[in-house]
């Protein structure tokens, strides 16, 4: 901490402009009190029980909810970014806690809306959808009305709401068990002690000393295997809860229920798995290349993450890193360049690490604010890539907010990572264009392949595992730790090929994945990455016409369902060819890496 500058020592241009939201904390406090008074007086009292009275009343409800939601949103963003810029300051943490509680109270007062609306007769709802007064809310209403067959009686909905925490308890217990209770111990190699934690495992698995990797792996997985029966029961109960809730809500499968909220047909899930399985050979070749380069009989799970090539890159000042991002994204055109310039000029970005600042990086904001980007910029290439990533989210938020009506200015999780990944891909391609040194190129391509493989191949394998596990329960059979490990091992072997070897520990890898307690979520990482690779490839090869289609996607927000938004931009995610195109690029990178590694050995 001693080498970090305090926040008041950081130049203003490197700090985000909180004053654009509220000039002072006192101004925030004044607005907070005004909104609190409105919420306490119940802004929805005149609408509760009156939605049947006609389109005018419904329009008034929308306008009231939107106005208060916008004001609450500004309060939340301000408190959120202040709390993150210095997590040590109790005043900011209290500010964030207060607005979270007020937001929850607002949501509770507003909770009547969907059940009451969907209790109306079908012909009245259809009339609302097609009423000219509600034209700007047509898609909102259409999306809400889709839920009608799956909304139960008031009494049942109230009972299910009261059981929400209980139904999600498996994931909560898993988190407490693995994050708070598990201790993985330590080991010594060549006189150096290594303390093993969940957070350090990723770094230890990148160590060039195989014994270090192996022992770190064994320490963590032995802890999980020691608790195998408890973890097996937790996940089995989580799957059973998903299946039973799907039946209660009148869905044919748990997968259908999970995809329903984003209006994603199960054919998209199927297309992803088919596209990946049809192109598994590229992954097998990469694992075989890894086996050869590391001189192994077989690649083990603890050999998958060690770099095959390492070159030191230049250090970049923030200005140099930002300039590199600008150059890398030049193909997106002048409007996008203006947005990047605006991000610096209008101080969207909080650049440097300071004592107490939250770690990591993110982009936040919505249509009524500018985007706000948190960085902990270190001057290395990873920091530059992170800058490009977060500015992708920011540009998406900015363009959708500027183009769409407020109710359509957000975008779904299914689409969220596309914009950030397109930026990362364009940036690395630009750097490769500038880089002739074989070792530097090999390092960049190795990193890119590991990222793509971890996102497309690995997350699709996870998606297939989830599907298989839920199918077992839907067919009336039981899940155990052993049956889950056998199921996972079969997939692991297929996805990695003959150069890879399993052991008892690696078959239990599924038991470490917290995302499995949020069923049928991870497939979106793979679809998003696939879409981003295809977009970036088209922009690179086709130039302005492809860039304009892509910018149209960024402007679309949620004006339509996610698949329709992508279709308009030229991508059909129900067609396995999108994944095939993405993995063809993966295969080309494997070819080049293999050739480069022969030059640097």
Structural domain contains residue 508: no
Distances (CA, A) of 448 to 442, 533, 593: 10, 11, 10
Looking at the domain assignment, is residue 413 inside a domain?
Answer: no
Q: Is residue 182 part of a domain?
A: no
Please, what is the angle between helix 280-293 and helix 481-496, to 10°?
Answer: 80
Helix or strand (DSSP H, E) at 255: helix 254-260
- Domain residue limits at 101: 7-163
Quick check: 601 pLDDT over 80? no
State the chain's maximal CA–CA distance in angstroms: 78
Low-confidence winner among 70-79, 163-172, 275-284, 540-549 (lowest mean pLDDT): 163-172
What is the per-residue pLDDT across 537-579, written as a single tens digit (0 to 9) for each?
A: 999 999 999 999 999 999 999 999 999 999 999 999 999 999 9
Q: In angstroms, rounded to a whole number, what is the distance separating the alpha carbons of residues 591 and 583?
A: 12
The mean pLDDT value for 336-349 works out to: 98
The answer to whether position 57 is within a domain reads yes
When pLDDT is averaged across residues 448-471 and rounded to a whole number, the result is 97
- pLDDT score at 2: 45
Average pLDDT over residues 578-594: 97
Is residue 328, in this structure, part of any structural domain at all? no
Active site residues: 390
Question: What's the CA gap between 363 and 524, in Å, rounded?
Answer: 19
Per-residue pLDDT tens for 364-406? 999 999 999 999 999 999 999 999 999 999 999 999 999 999 9
Residue that has been written with the tokens 């009343």 in this structure: 57
Q: Tell me how far apart the alpha carbons of residues 449 and 109 are, in angstroms, rounded to a whole number.
A: 48
Instruction: Judge whether residue 195 has pLDDT over 70.
Output: yes
CATH of the domain at 87: 1.20.140.70
- Residue 312: predicted pLDDT: 84
Does residue 157 fall inside a structural domain?
yes
Provide the pLDDT for residue 270: 97
| Residue 522 and residue 463 in contact, taking contact as beta carbons nearer than 8 Å | yes
- When the pLDDT of each residue in the chain is averaged and rounded to a whole number, the result is 95
Q: Quick one: pLDDT at residue 263?
A: 93
Q: What pLDDT sits at residue 1?
A: 37
Which residues make Cβ contacts (< 8 Å) with residue 384, sequence separation at least 6? 316, 321, 324, 325, 427
Higher-pLDDT residue of 176, 215: 215
349 φ/ψ angles, rounded to the nearest 5 degrees:
-110, 130
Report the domain count for the chain: 1
pTM of the model: 0.92
Among residues 510, 509, 507, 505, the alpha carbon closest in space to that of 222 is found at 505
Please state the φ and ψ torsions of residue 571, each to the nearest 5 degrees. -120, 125
List of E strands, 117-242: 186-189, 192-195
Residue 5, pLDDT > 60, answer yes
Residues in the chain: 601
pLDDT digits (tens, 9 = 90+) for 219-265: 999 999 999 999 999 999 999 999 999 999 999 999 999 999 889 99
Helix axes of 544-556 and 381-403: crossing angle, nearest 10 degrees:
70
Given the structure tokens 């005149």, which residue do they identify? 46
Tell whether 140 is covered by a domain: yes
* Within a domain: 134: yes
């Amino acid at each position: 901490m001693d080498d970090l500058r305090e926040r008041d020592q950081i130049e203003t241009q490197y700090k985000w402009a909180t004053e654009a939201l509220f000039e002072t904390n006192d101004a925030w406090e004044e607005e907070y009190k005004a909104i609190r008074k409105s919420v306490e007086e119940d802004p929805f009292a005149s609408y509760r029980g009156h939605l049947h009275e006609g389109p005018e009343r419904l329009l008034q409800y929308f306008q009231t909810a939107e106005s208060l939601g916008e004001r609450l949103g500004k309060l939340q963003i301000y408190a959120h970014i202040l709390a993150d810029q210095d997590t040590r300051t109790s005043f900011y943490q209290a500010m964030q806690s207060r607005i979270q509680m007020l937001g929850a109270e607002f949501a509770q007062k507003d909770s009547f809306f969907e059940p009451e609306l969907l209790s109306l007769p079908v012909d009245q709802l259809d009339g609302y959808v097609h009423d000219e007064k509600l034209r700007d809310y047509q898609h909102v209403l259409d999306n809400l009305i889709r839920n009608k067959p799956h909304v139960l009686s008031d009494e049942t909905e109230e009972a299910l709401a009261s059981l929400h925490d209980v139904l999600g308890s498996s994931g909560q217990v898993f988190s407490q068990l693995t994050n708070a209770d598990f201790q993985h111990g330590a080991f010594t190699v060549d006189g150096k002690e290594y303390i093993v934690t969940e957070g350090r495992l990723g770094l230890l698995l990148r160590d060039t000393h195989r014994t270090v990797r192996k022992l770190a792996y064994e320490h963590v997985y032995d802890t999980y295997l020691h608790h195998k029966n408890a973890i097996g029961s937790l996940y089995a109960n989580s799957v059973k809860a998903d299946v039973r809730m799907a039946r209660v809500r009148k869905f044919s499968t748990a997968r259908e229920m999970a995809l329903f909220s984003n209006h994603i047909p199960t054919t998209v899930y199927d297309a992803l798995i088919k596209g990946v399985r049809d192109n598994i050979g590229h992954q097998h070749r990469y694992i075989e290349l890894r086996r050869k380069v590391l001189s192994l009989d077989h690649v083990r799970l603890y050999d998958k993450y060690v770099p095959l090539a390492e070159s030191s890159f230049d250090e970049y000042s923030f200005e140099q890193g930002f300039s590199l991002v600008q150059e890398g994204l030049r193909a997106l055109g002048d409007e996008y360049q203006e947005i990047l310039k605006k991000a610096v000029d209008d101080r969207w970005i909080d650049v440097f690490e300071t004592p107490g600042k939250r770690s990591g990086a993110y982009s936040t904001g919505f249509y009524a604010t500018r985007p706000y980007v948190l960085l902990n910029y270190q001057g290395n290439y990873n920091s530059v890539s992170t800058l490009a990533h977060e500015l992708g989210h920011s540009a998406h938020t900015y363009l959708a907010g500027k183009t769409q009506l407020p109710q359509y200015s957000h975008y779904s999780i299914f689409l969220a990572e596309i914009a950030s990944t397109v930026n990362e891909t364009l940036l690395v391609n630009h750097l490769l264009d500038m880089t002739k040194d074989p070792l530097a190129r090999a390092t960049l391509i190795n990193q890119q392949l590991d990222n793509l493989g971890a996102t497309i191949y690995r997350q699709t394998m996870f998606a297939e595992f989830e599907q298989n596990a839920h199918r077992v329960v839907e067919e009336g059979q039981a899940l155990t730790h052993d049956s889950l490990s056998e199921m996972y091992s079969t997939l692991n072997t297929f996805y990695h090929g003959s150069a890879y070897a399993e052991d008892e520990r690696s078959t239990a890898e599924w038991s470490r994945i917290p995302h499995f307690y949020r069923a049928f979520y991870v497939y979106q990482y793979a679809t998003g990455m696939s879409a981003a690779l295809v977009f970036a490839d088209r922009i690179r090869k086709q130039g302005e016409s492809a860039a304009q289609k892509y910018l149209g996607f960024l402007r679309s927000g949620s004006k339509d369902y996610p698949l329709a938004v992508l279709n308009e931009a030229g991508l059909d995610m129900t067609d396995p060819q999108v994944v095939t195109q993405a993995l063809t690029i993966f295969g080309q990178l494997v070819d080049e890496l293999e050739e480069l590694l022969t030059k640097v050995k």
